[in-house]
Structure 1
Amino acid sequence: MSAEPTIRHVSPAFRTFCGDSALDALPRELARVGARRAAIICIPAVAAHTEAMGRLHEVLGERLAGQFDGVEEHSPLPSVERARAFLAEHDADAVIAVGGGSSVVTARAATILLGEDKNIRELCTRREGGKLVSPKLAAPKLPQWVVPSSPTSAYAKAGAAVRDPETGERLALFDPKARAQGVVLDPGMALTAPPRLSWSAALNVFSMAVEGLQSRKVDPLADALLAHALRTVVTWLPRVEKEPDQAAPRLQLMLAAIMSGQGSDHTGGGLAQALSHAIGPRSSAPNGVVEALLLPHAMRFNAPVVADRLAAIADYLGLADRSAEGVIAEVERLLEVFGVPRRLEDIGVAEESLAEVTAHALDDWAITAGPRVPDREDILALLTNAR
């Protein structure tokens, strides 16, 4: 690496509030942008926690325009369209996503569809002339905030991926104007998620950090975020199961999620992420589990071109063995400690689905950001080995 790095690092405006009084920031945040009719978008499981949701409703007061609790796992297009219609019907001028990744993605996608007022097929990333192209989405978007119940790197992102249940396609929307204004980490809301959900979501945070640190785009500022996210997950993830009634481990993982999401914004995603997007809906496991399971396989694929980056990961983890295989072995050990399944067959992925998974993964934007871009045969070989 050159002693004089050349980087372009632009940090979007993003406000983070964490702690017992964090929810009190929401009315001030809404007033800051002149919002008077905020709509909540959440999953039914979170809506059922009347105490936590009651506190949120109380804080919002007259600014609460309504609550849509029809979010579904993997953000299928029909539920996103219902959320868009809800925002329009309630004349919302702000959006608060409550829950995990599906709530965040559904809220962001619904906001984009509402603002652009077009069919999603006209707005999503698509392949043109052999390249993936994201249309420029120029319409204004409603301001958004996130009140999470589980950790996810989606908090800080500008994109949203919607699944079309009729075709199995993942329709990706990218719009920096739809990025959340900030996140509010409330201890009570953090404890609404089952420990197992916090566990699986944190695996996405871990995988995104490891893949971001393998990027050939070396950005010391992004690396600092990713490295601390990595260490935070290693320290706090085991404590979620040991201390299920304590908010501290969950809040720490949520902070790691912000760092992992922001850091990987600058370094890009990776192969395990792209493959998990395609495999997740075809498995019995959450995307974070799928991503973590595939992580060592993706690392071995990338190893020939990122030996120096893997050595840096060894330093962040305090390893004496800085070789590629030594680092991958440590990641495998950590995944075993975390309780991650080892084989795709363990999470219900059928061999006959691998060809379809490969086709969908090749159209995923994240696959273009890795240090070594695979072809169809590379992906099939990786998936077959992982099964």
Structure 2
Amino acid sequence: MESSPRMNDANPSPHDFAARTQALNIYSGQDALANLPRELRRHGVRRALVLCGKSVNEKTDLIRRIETLAESGVIGVFAGITEGAPAECIEDAARVALELRADGLIAVGAGSVIKGARVVAMLMGEGRPLQEMATRHVEGLPPVSQRLLAPKLPIFNVLTSPTSAQHRAGSAVRYHGSAHHLEFFDPKTRPKAVFWDAQALATAPLSLQRSTSFEIYWWSLMCMGAVDTCNPLVQASRRQAWRLARAAYPRLGSTAASSAQIDLCAAALLQNRDEEDGGRPWSCHLLARAAYAVAVGVFNHYRGITQSHGYAGMAPAVIRHLGPQVPDVLVALGEALGLANLDRDAGLAERVASAVEKEFEALGWQGKLAGRGIPGADAPLLVGFALRNYNANHDRLLDAHVDGLQRAIEASLRV
């Protein structure tokens, strides 16, 4: 993702910043989807293609509900988007959309479908192969995000689970070539409207809700490690996102699940606003960068391991091995978790890492990657993946921490 010159984590003053406000309509609660036809008309969409996964299409009535609401505004359904948005299914979806002459995309799902829809729009608009549009990585040099200038179809996101993918311009697809994933950035693929419809959010299995919502919870916590150094708009988003996520996550699966899901959707949108307001959460501090970059590599390279598994499994190890280099971040994370008397001494990293581990395990997430079938010998491979992550290493800062990063990975994999 790209930012203005002042939108970076090296900003010396929290009061020198640039922010953007993007046009977005949000509809939340019971029957929120009733507003979909108006949004389609507002943007001149008469031949929308619905993008979704197989389960939501075959095991729920949500897609039929959307088709009924949109009347003749839906031209077809592509239900082949799978976990991680693999390049092959995204290319298939774009081909179908072009054949049907779709003039809009309705993405129905969570992270994979939502981010995949953006890349479908890019393929349709640019008419170029994925590799030509993707961010370019050259060893030792900053990665280069490609400028994608062609117009893009309007996108409308219907969430089936809370996800921070809901209102972003950046995206990535799983790729089976020389890189584990391809990264893209195009502000024109931000959605025109997002729907937090209570019935739609009830269609996802609890396991999916817990997984996508843990990503929101995790980012809310990690961003609390860098609040006071941010501009006032970002400070507000980070504090409120953490308050919402920490209170809502334990309520998933309870009688209060509907309100919890919407609170988590709101926390995720605040994380999106964090980016627009200049916060750059992906690289807000060293620990977030490192754990995030490794988790993405784990998710894309090893089948059956979610990004949330990677987040939970890497954070404690990263805190232990890289935390001593950023004591202010450790103190801020500890305070967010309610720790007191946080002295900046040799035991600080272990104390905060243990608290994070305990917090994750109380929510049902293992604080290590051990036992997930990842060979210990793959640690250098995961380091390489992390260094190629644009969001985490756009300025090559992680290059200076390769040894500590590898030690953290090895510790997380160790039984």
TM-score calculated relative to the size of structure 1: 0.91
1:236: which partner in 2? 248
- Please point out which of 375, 380, 393 is paired with 1:368: 393
1:379: which partner in 2? 405
2:230: which partner in 1? 218
SS of 2:381's equivalent in the other structure is: helix
Q: Distance in 1 between matches of 2:125 and 2:396?
A: 34
Match status 1:110 vs 2:120: yes
- Change over 3 Å in CA distance of 1:220–1:341 after alignment to 2: same
SS of 1:97's equivalent in the other structure is: strand
Q: Distance in 1 between matches of 2:59 and 2:391?
A: 34
Equivalent residue letter for 1:353: D
Whether contact under 8 Å (1:207, 1:295) holds in the other structure is no
**Across the two proteins, how many residue pairs are aligned to each other?**
386
* 1:182-201 equivalences in 2 (<5 Å): 182-201=193-212
Q: Structure 1: which 5+ residue stretches go unaligned? A: none
Q: Distance in 2 between matches of 1:305 and 1:156?
A: 33
Match status 1:277 vs 2:296: yes
2:151: which partner in 1? 140
2:3: which partner in 1? none
Equivalent residue letter for 1:234: R
Note the C-alpha offset of 1:74: 0.9
Match status 1:208 vs 2:243: no
Equivalent residue letter for 2:292: Q
* 1:171-186 equivalences in 2 (<5 Å): 171-186=182-197
Note the C-alpha offset of 1:315: 4.8
Q: Distance in 1 between matches of 2:241 and 2:389?
A: 24
Note the C-alpha offset of 1:250: 1.9
Note the C-alpha offset of 1:297: 2.7
Match status 1:7 vs 2:7: no
Q: Distance in 1 between matches of 2:406 and 2:332?
A: 29
Q: Distance in 1 between matches of 2:322 and 2:368?
A: 20
Whether contact under 8 Å (2:215, 2:307) holds in the other structure is yes
Whether contact under 8 Å (1:208, 1:261) holds in the other structure is no
Farther off after superposition, 134-143 or 29-38: 29-38
SS of 1:292's equivalent in the other structure is: helix
Q: Distance in 2 between matches of 1:287 and 1:151?
A: 14
TM-score calculated relative to the size of structure 2: 0.85
Q: Distance in 1 between matches of 2:198 and 2:353?
A: 34
Q: Distance in 1 between matches of 2:341 and 2:371?
A: 30
- Change over 3 Å in CA distance of 1:363–1:372 after alignment to 2: closer
Whether contact under 8 Å (2:141, 2:396) holds in the other structure is no
Note the C-alpha offset of 1:148: 0.9
Q: Distance in 1 between matches of 2:360 and 2:396?
A: 22
Note the C-alpha offset of 1:224: 1.8
- Change over 3 Å in CA distance of 1:262–1:302 after alignment to 2: farther
Q: Distance in 2 between matches of 1:314 and 1:299?
A: 11
- Please point out which of 251, 257, 275 is paired with 2:262: 251
Whether contact under 8 Å (1:271, 1:366) holds in the other structure is no
* 1:310-325 equivalences in 2 (<5 Å): 310-322=330-342, 325=349
Cα RMSD over matched residues? Answer: 2.5
Note the C-alpha offset of 1:231: 2.1
Farther off after superposition, 34-43 or 314-323: 314-323
2:383: which partner in 1? 358
Note the C-alpha offset of 1:360: 1.7
Farther off after superposition, 189-198 or 163-172: 163-172
* 1:111-130 equivalences in 2 (<5 Å): 111-128=121-138, 130=141
